[in-house]
Amino acid sequence: MTSTTDNGKVQELLARSAVDNDFRTALLTDPRTALEQAAGKQIPENLRVKFIEKDADCDAMFVLPDPVTGDELTPEQLEAVAGGCEGGIEVGDVNICWFSF
């Protein structure tokens, strides 16, 4: 989960992609390199990152969560839901956090 402040920072990153065509193209074609260059540090190889553009005929997009395969969450999943963070990078003032299950 992200805090309201983190969401604002992500919005700043996304706002840059609306006015900086080179940055936008880099996020779409090579997001790992674009984020690493903006952050000044590497992203773990096992972290897959993807940016997509909204189609003109779409008003809202949602990313569905991974399906839960058992009846209960693992301790790692519970920690993620509770707001824990294994790692992250900062892109300017934006902190991007990731989890691995």
Parse the chain into domains and list their residue ranges.
4-98
Tell me how far CA of residue 90 lies from CA of 7, 37, 53, 74, 83, in angstroms: 13, 11, 22, 28, 17
What pLDDT score was predicted for residue 63? 79
Q: How far is CA 13 from the centre of its chain?
A: 10
Q: pLDDT of 76-94, one tens digit each? A: 666 666 665 556 666 555 5
User: Does the predicted TM-score (pTM) go above 0.85?
Assistant: no
Q: Kindly report the backbone phi and psi dihedral angles of residue 12, in degrees, each rounded to the nearest multiple of 5, phi listed first.
A: -65, -45
pLDDT in tens, 18-54: 999 999 999 999 999 988 887 777 888 888 889 999 8
